[in-house]
Amino acid sequence: MAKAISEIKAEIQELELLQKRELLGLLVADLEESEGGELDEIWLKEAQRRFQELKDGSVTGVPASQVFAKLERRLG
């Protein structure tokens, strides 16, 4: 029987940072295998959309150092 998302979320919150990163990698790899080329197409369209937003000035970029610092604070 599959676990409820709330149970899985609670277990994830108990993991160390490196364990969370490993789990994320496994989940992404699983999605890529199951979706095949469809996932690549979705990511390409998303990347193109984001690039266009940067180009036309409707959004501004955030330095990677700020993004990673924020993630570190949120993940512990």
Domain ranges within the chain, ordered by starting residue: 1-35, 36-76
Q: Give the model's confidence band at 59: pLDDT under 50 very low, under 70 low, under 90 confident, else very high.
A: very high
Nearest residue to 12 via CA among 73, 72, 75: 75
Give the Cα separation of 26 and 32 in Å (integer).
Answer: 10
Give the rounded percent of residues in the chain with a pLDDT score beyond 90.
Answer: 72
* Segment 12-35 mean pLDDT: 89
Q: What share of the chain is helix, strand, coil (3-state, %, to 5)?
A: 80, 0, 20
